[in-house]
Amino acid sequence: MEIILITGGAGYIGSHIALELLKSKFNVFVIDNLSNSSTNSLNAVEKLTGKKISFEEGDIRNQDFLDQFFKIHSIDCVIHCAGLKAVAESIQKPYEYYENNIIGSLNLIKAMKNYSVKKLIFSSSATVYDENEKMPLFETSAIGQGQNPYARTKIMIDKILQDEVMSSSNWSIIVLRYFNPVGNDPSCLLGEDPKGIPNNLMPLINQAAFNTRKLTVFGADYDTPDGSAIRDYFHVSDLAIGHVNSVQKILQDKNDLKIFNLGLGQGISVLQLINIYQDINDIKFDYSIGDRRLGDLPICYAENKLAKQELGWQPIFTHHDMCK
* List 2, 3, 23, 34, residue binding ligand NAD (CB under 6 A): 34
Pure H helices in the chain: 12-23, 40-49, 63-72, 87-92, 94-97, 104-114, 149-166, 201-209, 236-250, 270-280, 305-311, 319-323
Contacts of 53 (CB under 8 A, 6+ apart): 9, 18, 22, 28, 29, 30, 42, 45, 46
CB of 143 to ligand UD1, least distance (A): 14
Q: What angle do CA 183, 184, 188 make, to 5 degrees?
A: 130
What does 270 interact with, of ligand NAD, ligand UD1, none (CB < 5 to 8 A by kind)? ligand UD1
* List 129, 178, 234, 317, residue binding ligand NAD (CB under 6 A): 178
Contacts of 247 (CB under 8 A, 6+ apart): 2, 4, 21, 26, 77, 79, 121
- Selected catalytic residue, list 150, 178, 233, 277: 150
* Binding of ligand NAD by 83 (CB under 6 A): yes
What does 296 interact with, of ligand UD1, ligand NAD, none (CB < 5 to 8 A by kind)? ligand UD1
Nearest CA-CA partner of 247 in 24, 46, 13, 11:
24
Q: Which residues bind ligand UD1 (CB under 6 A)?
A: 85, 87, 125, 127, 150-151, 180, 199-201, 204, 216-218, 229, 231, 270, 293, 295-296
Q: Is 150 annotated as catalytic? A: yes
Nearest CA-CA partner of 209 in 258, 289, 273, 157:
273
What does 2 interact with, of ligand NAD, ligand UD1, none (CB < 5 to 8 A by kind)? none
Q: What angle do CA 243, 244, 246 make, to 5 degrees?
A: 60
* Binding of ligand NAD by 19 (CB under 6 A): no
CB of 33 to ligand UD1, least distance (A): 19
Answer whether 162's CB lies under 8 Å from 259's CB: no
What does 218 interact with, of ligand UD1, ligand NAD, none (CB < 5 to 8 A by kind)? ligand UD1
What does 61 interact with, of ligand NAD, ligand UD1, none (CB < 5 to 8 A by kind)? ligand NAD
Half-sphere exposure of 76 (CA within 13 A, CB side): 14
The backbone torsions φ and ψ at residue 125, rounded to the nearest 5 degrees and listed phi first, read: -145, 155
* Binding of ligand NAD by 39 (CB under 6 A): no
For ligand NAD, the closer CB: 84 or 276: 84
Footprint of ligand NAD on 197-216 (CB under 6 A): 200
> Annotated catalytic sites, by residue?
150
Residues that bind ligand NAD (CB under 6 A): 8, 10-14, 32-37, 59-61, 81-85, 100, 104, 123, 125, 178, 180-181, 200
